[in-house]
Structure 1
Amino acid sequence: MYVLLCANLLTASTISIPRENCSHKAPCIEYHAFMASVKSIFNFFLHKANFFKHFATLVIEVIILLLIFLIAFFIGASLASFAGCVAWRFANNVPQTIPRSFCENCGHALCFWQLIPVVGYLLQGGRCAFCKHKIPGHETLIEIMFGLFCGKIFLLHPDSPNLLTLFLSAWLLFLAWTDALKFCVPAASLYGGGALLLLCRIDALAQRNAIDWCFFLLLFCLMRLFEQKQMFGAADTFVCLILSVLFGIQNFCFLLFLSCCLIILHYAFFHQKMLPFIPFILCSYLFFGCFFPQVINV
């Protein structure tokens, strides 16, 4: 009997020990599980926070680039509008300073909001707000094209945009517009702008070799020959020489080839025998500037 009682007590004691250990370990297991859940939730929200942080940074960068593009677009459109105004006044022998901008049809002075490039045209519905005369749409189209071109220049180099390219574009635009209106350009603008461009890129002149200078001389002789036969103008010759020096032989040949193709297409549709050449150079320049900027990189 005594042996049986001792056996029962021993069995009870061996069973009670693991129960006591399990009761002590259960809160620890639940605590670790709870902390693991909290950690996973925290990591989830941290991942989401990083995602939203990167997304917000991306949105801010897009907004900044959009603002840069809009500012550059407005600058380019304003330059185009100003060049068109100066060219029209030169072609019609109107003083550059007075009177203030006016409607070409009724002569009424324009309000400030009518002078805003592109926006003024849209607000007026393409017609003068005073006489309802239709405003030429090609001027607004040129403003849009030049604005997009300048916008791309600033987007490619937002920190340090190529101001020389911008000046060259404005110079070509003014000469092209004047050439299209009057078949001549102001000598001061032609030679002054060309000399300034060469001075800004005096290093480009030093890098040219003997073959380049022979090509420039040959090009000059050919164009002078065309001038004598009244197939080419002196301004066209000077502009081509400036561009060939700035862009190099190969890139200038691309520009000249596209300009000649555009002239052939224009003649095929409109059969106009006498054409200004600088506007076609400008169109080729803008085309390469938008799609192949390495060609016109100065």
Structure 2
Amino acid sequence: MFAKLFTVFITICLASFTNLCAYRLGKGDVPWSPPRSYCPHCHHPLYWWQLIPISGFIVQGGHCHFCHYQISTYDTVCELACGLFAYMLATPALFHSFLVIITIQALLFICSCDYYYQCLYPLSLIGLLPLFLIIPSWSLPDLATWIIIMMVLIALAIMVRLHWLGSGDVIFIAALLFTFGLEDTAVIILCACLITLPFFYFHRQAHLPFLPALCLATIIGLTITCS
């Protein structure tokens, strides 16, 4: 139990920093400059107690301590979700928990980049490599499966040309195909579509970010697979 709680604690703390990295990199800044986080509305540097994941949001009542501007719930929801999935996936084995932390942070970074700026850094997919070790009984696809995967990727590329999907979505789905396989990837995409539908219905956005839903569906699928 202690190992799980420790994994959850580390995951939540890193989730806060991962969101910061995604937000600053998208603006063309670097994660460590400026050294202290600040309110995006009044630009006042934040105190240490405001930076504590989850509790900082609760103590401030969801509003900036200085200008009373409403704080986005995105960071807090991500921290809670990351902690929950870390608890469900972590084991007493230190190496396995380390792989879980890396995978969750990689998915969160991909999710946040698309959420904030509708972009994907291809290098961030390296963080998904631990999936090959986390997924039980993973094996290389056979020749027939490879052919089907190639056909699926060609179809996805056509969708990009037709502006039905973004190139980042296709790259991420390709990574899923090589890790989860055809059937599980199809289930993940279906789950992501179901997650996206309510947001599309209520917001009516022409270009709704799809990677956040794909990342959430991926971690749900991973949790089910490993349970």
- Structure 2 residue corresponding to 1:207, chosen from 140, 143, 149: 140
Q: Residue 75 of structure 1 contacts residue 150 of structure 1 at CA under 8 Å; is this kept in 2?
A: no
Deviation, structure 1 residue 271: 1.6
Query: What is the aligned counterpart of 2:48 among 100, 108, 112?
Result: 112
Q: How far has the Cα of 1:198 moved from its partner?
A: 8.1
Q: 1:158 aligns to what? A: 92
Structural mapping, 1:85-234, within 5 Å: 85-99=20-34, 100-154=36-90, 157-160=91-94, 161-190=96-125, 192-193=126-127, 196=129, 207-234=140-167
Counterpart-to-counterpart distance in 2, 1:101 and 1:78: 14
Is the aligned partner of 1:263 residue 2:196? Answer: yes
Distance 1:184 1:260 in 2: 19
Q: In the TM superposition, what is the alpha-carbon distance from 1:226 to its structure 2 partner?
A: 0.8
Distance 2:164 2:12 in 1: 33
Deviations 1:244-270 (A, max 9, x none): 211122211111111122223322222
The one-letter amino acid paired with 1:247 is: F
Deviations 1:271-291 (A, max 9, x none): 22211111011221233345x
Q: Counterpart of 1:277?
A: 210
Query: Could you report, residue by residue, the CA deviation over 1:205-258 in whole angstroms, capped at 9, with x for unpaired residues?
Result: 863111221121012101111111122222211111111211122211111111
Q: Which has the higher contact order (CA 8 A, sep 6+)?
A: 2
Tell me the matched-pair count: 224
Unaligned runs of 5+ in 2: none
Deviations, residues 57-98 of structure 1 (Å, cap 9, x unaligned): xxxxxxxx2x44432222221222112111111222233221
CA distance in 1, matches of 2:139, 2:81: 34
How well do the aligned residues superpose, as a CA RMSD in angstroms?
2.6
Partner AA of 1:133 in structure 2: Y
TM-score (norm 1): 0.67
1:177 offset after TM fit, Å?
0.6
Cα separation, partners in 2 of 1:241 and 1:229, compared to 1, 3 Å? same
Normalised TM-score (structure 2): 0.87
- Distance between the aligned counterparts of 1:197 and 1:72, measured in 2? 16
Q: Is 1:81 aligned with 2:16?
A: yes
**Structure that is richer in helix per residue:** 1
* Alpha-carbon spacing, 1:167–1:211, altered in 2? closer, same or farther (3 Å): farther
Higher Cα Rg, which structure = 1
Question: What pairs with 1:30-109 in structure 2 (closer than 5 Å)?
Answer: 65=1, 67-99=2-34, 100-109=36-45
CA distance in 2 between counterparts of 1:228 and 1:146 reads 34
Structure 1: gaps of 5 or more residues: 1-64
TM-superposed CA distance for 1:169, in Å, is 2.2
Superposed displacement of residue 149, structure 1: 0.7
